[in-house]
Structure 1
Amino acid sequence: MDFELDHIAVAGETLADAVEHSEAVLGVPLLPGGQHSHFATHNQLLGLEDGLYFEAIAIDPSQPTPAFPRWFGLDEFRGAARLDKWIIRCSDIAAAQDAFPEAGAPVRLSRGHLSWTMLVPRDGRLPFGGQFPAIIQWHTDTPPGQTLSSSGLRLRSLTVSGPDAHALAERLSPAFRDARVRFETADDRELVAEFTAPDGTSLVLR
């Protein structure tokens, strides 16, 4: 089974922080998203070229704290808003769990007309210091990457840097290959996305 890049996400201690950081770099306003009642989070979105999309996400203080860890390690997120997660999609979440058991257990979720299943670790922490991609299967015929109006921004590259980045690349290589996603060994962990704007300008988001 092959996996494809679905979207990338900026996290913040608050959604306002995540949105402000994203808009300051991308130069376009993010669109309203919604609430994720299961994990008590909320988001805003932006359509990209090539069927991809962008998400700003944070804990939603207006919802009750769940009795279990939130996804994306958001319970422990601290500091400035930053590009923090990337998400790949599959067509068979059970097979994906068999291939990558460390990605977590399937959790069925919905928001409005959207329906999906995501693999979420029991403690909410993705492997490789949070740099392992979250894995999603959409049950909606037209997921956000297909329905959101494109901002005109095209993802040129996503660089995953960390002390074990090449080990992560090797772990994913049997099922995931995307020339836009690069892995670089570095002392510190960081995700860096480079976009091309409609006028050809290069935008770098960290």
Structure 2
Amino acid sequence: MLTLDHIAISTEALETGAAEVEEKLGVPLAPGGQHAAMGTWNRLLSLGPEEYLELIATEPGAPAPAQPRWFDLDNFAGVTRTTTWICRCDDLDAALAAAPEGTGVPWSLERADLRWRMAIPTTGLLPFSGLFPALIEWSGPAHPAPRLEDRSVRLTGLRLISPDADGLSAALAPMISDDRIEVVPGEVPRMEAVLATPSGEITL
């Protein structure tokens, strides 16, 4: 089974996006780092001891990978918004075998003492127009969530709005059980993260 690990908020420019998210949530984001393999960088926010929020953008001037970037960032434009949810597993290869075609191929990645394997689609876009989760397997005990200062922000809901809601629900059912995840029919695929913050409920 999969466990929700973190959510990714995509933005066109990291500094601008960070200011937008901080204003909406009423709390500061923590410094993240760079992903040399993907040409991206991020900021982070605790969502509790085992989950976090990642604000991510293409890093200006960074070399691009040989394939499309993860989270379909090469095609991202418009307002800063939730675009991807990432689920952890104990065995990435087994999880991929049970996942829909196109979920990705394993990459071994690292930043400082963090080590992980992640399935990255060769097209950059996850199944169901990006609404299926990205899969990650952390190597060793190091994980971003417990290192982040707790700002009392929690993920209370994740809405997956899909033109193929039945298909997405069927693909997710054997892989994850989380009452916060809601699959909703809709003509345009998108997702919404519902967050409880010190200043009230916010949807990104």
Unmatched 5+ stretches in structure 2: none
Distance 2:109 2:145 in 1: 17
Q: Assess if the C-alpha contact under 8 Å between 1:26 and 1:203 holds in 2.
A: yes
Distance 1:62 1:113 in 2: 25
Give, as a single letter, the amino acid of the residue that structure 1 aligns with 2:103: A
Tell me the residue number matched to 2:156: 156
Superposition pairs for residues 40-55 of structure 1, below 5 Å? 40-55=39-54
Distance 1:22 1:139 in 2: 30
Identity %: 40
Distance 2:166 2:26 in 1: 32
User: Hey, which of these two has a bigger chunk of helix by percent?
Assistant: 1
Give, as a single letter, the amino acid of the residue that structure 2 aligns with 1:133: P
Q: Assess if the C-alpha contact under 8 Å between 1:162 and 1:187 holds in 2.
A: yes
Unmatched 5+ stretches in structure 1: none
Distance 1:130 1:20 in 2: 25
Distance 1:167 1:21 in 2: 34
Larger deviation: 106-115 or 143-152?
Answer: 143-152
Give, as a single letter, the amino acid of the residue that structure 2 aligns with 1:71: W
CA displacement, residues 83-119 of structure 1 (integer Å, 9 cap, x when unaligned) = 1111000000111111114311000000111110110
Deviation at 1:21, TM superposition (A): 2.8
Return the TM-score normalized by structure 1.
0.93
Give the secondary structure class of the aligned counterpart of 1:102.
coil
Q: Assess if the C-alpha contact under 8 Å between 2:113 and 2:142 holds in 1.
A: no
Superposition pairs for residues 48-127 of structure 1, below 5 Å? 48-100=47-99, 101-127=101-127
Distance 1:111 1:50 in 2: 20
- Runs of 4 or more above 3 Å deviation: none
RMSD: 1.4
Q: Assess if the C-alpha contact under 8 Å between 1:21 and 1:82 holds in 2.
A: no
Aligned residues: 203
Distance 1:165 1:29 in 2: 34
1:30–1:44 distance in 2 versus 1, CA, 3 Å: same
Q: Assess if the C-alpha contact under 8 Å between 1:17 and 1:81 holds in 2.
A: no
CA displacement, residues 71-93 of structure 1 (integer Å, 9 cap, x when unaligned) = 11111111111111110000001
Give the secondary structure class of the aligned counterpart of 1:94.
helix
